[in-house]
Structure 1
C-alpha cells in the first residue's frame, strides 16, 4: 500500500520523542524510490493525454489523483521525520554544546554536518552576549546546593570548594552551578 513505508518514519518519531534513534537510511531511500516510481507512473498515465491535449477518462484521472496524494503524503512524512530529528539535534547542541558520542553514531552524516554548522552559528551568537549564559534555565533554581546521583563516571571534577570524585553510582551534595553542565549532559541525575 502506498505510504506504508513512509509511515514507519513517523512511528519511529513517536517511539523516540526525546532523543534521536538510529537514522533510518534504508527506509528513507525506500520512500524516495517509491515517490520516484509514483511520479514516473503518473507521468506515463498523463503523457498520452497531454500530447493530444485531451482530457483523461475518469479511471485515469482517479489513478493520477491517487498517485499525487500518495506522493504528497510520503513527502510530508519525510519532511516531518527530518524536522523531528533536526529539532532534537538543535536541542542537543543548544543544551549540551555538541552531539554526544553515543548519539552521534545514530545520526546521518548530514545531521552531523548540520550540528557543526549550527554549533558554529550558536557560538557566534553567544559571543555577542559574553556576560549572559544563554543555556541557563530561565527560572532561577530553588536551592544553591543539590543532591545528585552519578550515572556515568566523570572522574575528578574541580569545583569552587575543591575537587570531587564523580564515580558511577555515588551521590553527592554539591553546588548546582558546579554540576549543572553534567546534569544537562546526562552524566548526573538530580535527586529530589
Structure 2
C-alpha cells in the first residue's frame, strides 16, 4: 500500500531521536520510497497523456480523484524522506558540535562490528558504515566548516560545555594513546593506562573524543 514504506522511515527517525549513536542508514527503504515516488509520477503522466494538456476535473471526476490520490501519496513520501534525513542531519551536526570526531567513531564502530562478526562467524559482521556515503561527505565538510568558524576565536572553545566546571583540575586516565599535547603548564605525553592531574579546560575535547576518562 502506498505510504507504508514512508511510515517505516518516520518510525526509524523517531527511534533515532532516542539513541545516543546514529543507527545504520536505511538505504534499501530510502531507495524503495524513491522508486515509489517515480512510479506514481509515471502513473500521473500516463493518465494525463490522452488529454493533451486539456484535462477538466469536472468532466472526469474519477480520473481527477485518482490523480489527487497519487499526488497526495507522492507528497507524503517526499515529506517522510525529508523528515528521516533531517533527523539524521541534526544528529550529525550535534555530534560535530559536541567535539566528537564523528568519522572516527563510525570507523571504530564499523571495525568492532566486523571483529564481532568474524569471531562468531556471522554474515552480519560486514562492518558496514552507519553513515551513507553522502552523510560521510556532509559530516567531513561540516567539520571543516566548523573548524574554520571556530578559528576566528582561537581563545574560546565554541564546542565546549556550557556548564561551568565544578573543579578546575581533574584526574584523568588515558584510554588510548594520544601522543603529546600542550597544556598551560607544559607538554605531557598521553600513553594508554597512564593517569594525570590536569586542568579540565586542557583536556575537555580529548574526553569528548574518547581518548581520556574522567575519574571521580
2:161 maps to: 137
2:176 maps to: 154
Deviates more, 1:44-53 or 1:106-115: 44-53
Q: What is the CA distance between 1:143 and its match in structure 2?
A: 2.4
**Equivalent-residue separation in structure 2 for 1:117 and 1:125 (angstroms):** 12
User: What is the count of residue pairs matched by the alignment?
Assistant: 188
1:9 maps to: 9
SS class of match (2:102): coil
CA distance 1:148–1:58, change in 2 (3 Å): farther
Any conservation in 2 of the 1:96–1:185 contact (CA below 8 Å)? yes
Q: What is the CA distance between 1:72 and its match in structure 2?
A: 0.6
Gaps of 5+ in 2: 108-128
TM-score of the aligned structures, taking structure 2 as reference length: 0.72
CA distance 1:97–1:148, change in 2 (3 Å): closer
1:23 maps to: 25
Q: 2:39 aligns with which of 32, 37, 40?
A: 37
Say whether residues 1:84 and 2:87 are aligned partners. Answer: yes
Any conservation in 2 of the 1:96–1:181 contact (CA below 8 Å)? yes
Any conservation in 1 of the 2:99–2:160 contact (CA below 8 Å)? no
Q: What is the CA distance between 1:27 and its match in structure 2?
A: 0.9
Q: What is the CA distance between 1:101 and its match in structure 2?
A: 3.1
